[in-house]
Structure 1
Amino acid sequence: MQRARGRAAVRFASSDRGVRLAGLHQSGAAKALLPRTHGPVPEAVFLNTAGGVTGGDVFDYRLDLDAGARCVATTQTAERVYASSGGAGRIDVRLTAGAGAVLDWLPQETILFDQAALDRTTEIDLGPDAQCLSVETLILGRAAMGETVRRLALRDRRTIRRNGRPIVAEPVALDDRILARGDAAGLAGARALATLVFVAPGAEDALGPVREDLAQATGIAAAASSWDGRLILRAMAPGGAPLRRALVRLIARLGQAGLPRVWQA
C-alpha cells in the first residue's frame, strides 16, 4: 500500500511595514495555506491533503518566526488517524519564535480511531521574550457515530524550550491498557483530552481569569496552574464539543488575534 508523505514549511519576518512572508515550501500531501486576514497578524493553515494519517505515513510541518514576527498557526480541519495495518504514522511539528516574536499554535482536534497508531513530536523553540500559546486536543473516536476505541498506540511528545532550555515537557502515551482502565489512573471514562500551554512574561497574571472561565465551563473537568512565566491547563470531557467550547473562550482571552478563521467555519 502506498504511504502518504508530506512536508510544509513557512517562515515569517518582521519589517517596518509589518510581518511579511519570508519563505514557503510545500511537497507531497502537506500544504500550507495563507488566508487573507483583516488585522496585522498573519495566519498559517497547515493541511493534509491525504485526508488522514495511517500506519507508515510521514508528515513534517515547520513554522519559523524571525525576531519580532507574529503568527497564528492552525490546521485546516481535525486530523484523523485511522486504523493501522502495520506500523505507526508519524507527524513531526517544529516551531520556532525568535526574540520578541509571538506565536499561537492552535491546531484543531486530533481524532484517533480504533486500532490507530501514531507517533507525533511537537517541538517549540522560543527566543528571549518570545511568547507562545499552544493547544492540543485528542478525541477518541466519533461519539455521534457510536464508535468505541479499544485498541490504540499513541506516543505524543510535546516540548517547549526557552533559549535552548526545556521549560515544558508533555509526554502523552495511550494504549490498550490505559483505555481499559475506568478509574482516575486511566481516562475515567473521558473520550476527549486537551492541554493548553501559555508561555509569556507575566503569564501568571492570567491564571485568575482562566480559572474564572473554567468555573463557568460545563461538561468538562479541568485544572490550571501557573509559575515562572508559564501557564498550563489540562482538561478532559466525555466528548469533544464541551472541550472545544471551553478552548474557544480561553483562546479569545489568551490569543493575540482571537480564533483562527477555520475554527469559526
Structure 2
Amino acid sequence: MSATQSLAPQGYGADRKWFAKLELKLVPFVNKTHLKQLAFVGPLRIQRPFYPEDGVCHLYILHPPGGLVSGDKLHIHAHCSAHSQSLLTTPSAGKIYGQDSDGVVQGQTVHLQLADNAECEWLPQETLIFNNANAELDTRIELADTARFIGWDLVCLGRPASDAPFHQGQVKQRIRVWRNERLVLNEHVQLSAGSELQQARVGFAGNNVFGTLLATGVDFEPALLEQLRQLLPSPEFSLTQRLGVLLVRYLGDNMNECRAGMWQAWRVIRPVLLMREVCIPRIWLT
C-alpha cells in the first residue's frame, strides 16, 4: 500500500472529503423575521441577524477558511416560512483553489425553499475560480405559488488582476428553479479551460467573467425591461423573461463592471418585486 493510499482515510488522496453544512429556518413573528432554527456541521457559520430595514432579516454567511480546497463540499439550506422576509449574503468573495494531484472535486450546493408569500434575496459576493480548480456550483430554488425571490451568481475564471488566467481545470455550474413543483429554469454549464465553449463566439468568447441575476414572483412589465436595457451596457448585459423568471446576464472581462451592473439591476427590480427600496448590506462596504 502506498503512502497516499494509507493516508486516504485521514483526509488525503482520491477519497478525501471535507464536509460543511448550514441549515437555517426563517419564521416571521410579530413584525420581524426571526432565525428560528440554526444547525451547522464544519466551518460554516452566520453572524447574528441584522435588521437594517424594518423586519427584514439580513444574514451574513461565513466560511472561516476563506476558500475551497480539493474535497471541500459546502451545503447551505435555508427554509423560508410563509410571510418571512430575508436577505442572505457573504462578507467577501468565495474562492475555489486549484485541485490536488488526484483531481478531487470541490464545490458548493445551495438549496433555498420558500413557502407562500415568503420573500428571499440570495446575494452572495462573487466566486473566484483559481487556475486548475475542479469546481462544482449547484443552486436549487423551490418556490411556492406566491413566493418572491431575487438572487444572483457571479463567477470569475482565474484572477485577471493578478495576471493568473484560467488555462487549466474545469467548472460545472447548475441553476434550477421550481415554482409549484414545476421546473421553470434549468441551466447547466460544464466548462473546461481552453475548450471550444470557452473560446467560441457562441460560447464564452474568451471572456472570464459571467453572472446571472434572476427574479421571480410578479409579472414584470415591458417598461421595466426596457429601463434595464437602457441602464445596463450592451453587449455585456442582456435580459430575458420566460415562464415568470426575469434573467439579467453578464458576459465580459470585468468583475467590477459585472457587480456594479447587477447592483443597478437590483435597485430597479427590488421596489417592483418586494415593494421596498434597496438596502445595501453594510458588510459590502467594509
When normalised by structure 1's length, the TM-score is 0.91
| 8 Å Cα contact 1:4-1:29 kept in structure 2 | no
Note the C-alpha offset of 1:261. Answer: 2.5
Residue 154 (str. 1) matches residue 157 (str. 2): no
Match of 1:111 in 2: 128
Residue 23 (str. 1) matches residue 40 (str. 2): no
Alpha-carbon distance between aligned partners in 1 of 2:225 and 2:197, rounded to the nearest angstrom: 32
Instruction: Indicate which of 68, 76, 82 corresponds to 2:83.
Output: 68
Alpha-carbon distance between aligned partners in 2 of 1:181 and 1:15, rounded to the nearest angstrom: 48
Residue 263 (str. 1) matches residue 281 (str. 2): no
Residues 147 and 73 (structure 1), Cα distance of their counterparts in 2 relative to 1, 3 Å cut = same
Residue 52 (str. 1) matches residue 78 (str. 2): no
Q: Where does structure 1 differ by over 6 angstroms across 4 or more consecutive aligned residues?
A: none
Note the C-alpha offset of 1:219. Answer: 7.9
Instruction: Indicate which of 147, 152, 164 corresponds to 1:135.
Output: 152
Alpha-carbon distance between aligned partners in 2 of 1:13 and 1:195, rounded to the nearest angstrom: 28
Instruction: Indicate which of 180, 192, 200 corresponds to 2:217.
Output: 200
Match of 2:228 in 1: 213
Alpha-carbon distance between aligned partners in 2 of 1:95 and 1:180, rounded to the nearest angstrom: 30
Residues 253 and 246 (structure 1), Cα distance of their counterparts in 2 relative to 1, 3 Å cut = same
SS across alignment from 1:201: coil
| 8 Å Cα contact 1:4-1:57 kept in structure 2 | yes
Note the C-alpha offset of 1:90. Answer: 2.8
| 8 Å Cα contact 1:114-1:149 kept in structure 2 | yes
Match of 1:11 in 2: 25
Residue 96 (str. 1) matches residue 113 (str. 2): yes
Alpha-carbon distance between aligned partners in 2 of 1:125 and 1:180, rounded to the nearest angstrom: 29
Alpha-carbon distance between aligned partners in 1 of 2:198 and 2:31, rounded to the nearest angstrom: 55
Match of 1:233 in 2: 248
Note the C-alpha offset of 1:218. Answer: 4.4
| 8 Å Cα contact 1:178-1:187 kept in structure 2 | no
**How many pairs align?**
263
Match of 2:188 in 1: 171
| 8 Å Cα contact 1:225-1:233 kept in structure 2 | yes
Q: Which amino acid aligns with 1:239?
A: N
Note the C-alpha offset of 1:181. Answer: 4.7
| 8 Å Cα contact 1:251-1:258 kept in structure 2 | no
Match of 1:80 in 2: 95
Note the C-alpha offset of 1:179. Answer: 6.7
Alpha-carbon distance between aligned partners in 1 of 2:157 and 2:196, rounded to the nearest angstrom: 10
SS across alignment from 2:195: helix
Gaps of 5+ in 1: none
SS across alignment from 1:150: coil
Q: Percent identity?
A: 21
Residues 38 and 219 (structure 1), Cα distance of their counterparts in 2 relative to 1, 3 Å cut = same
Gaps of 5+ in 2: 1-11
| 8 Å Cα contact 1:9-1:32 kept in structure 2 | no
Q: Which amino acid aligns with 2:189?
A: V
Q: Which amino acid aligns with 2:121?
A: D
RMSD, aligned CA = 2.0
Residues 179 and 243 (structure 1), Cα distance of their counterparts in 2 relative to 1, 3 Å cut = farther
Note the C-alpha offset of 1:21. Answer: 1.7
| 8 Å Cα contact 2:138-2:175 kept in structure 1 | yes
Alpha-carbon distance between aligned partners in 1 of 2:235 and 2:261, rounded to the nearest angstrom: 8
| 8 Å Cα contact 1:54-1:81 kept in structure 2 | yes
Q: Which amino acid aligns with 2:75?
A: D
Residues 264 and 138 (structure 1), Cα distance of their counterparts in 2 relative to 1, 3 Å cut = same
Note the C-alpha offset of 1:187. Answer: 1.5
Q: Which amino acid aligns with 2:72?
A: D
SS across alignment from 1:215: helix
User: In proportion to residue count, which structure has more strand?
Assistant: 1
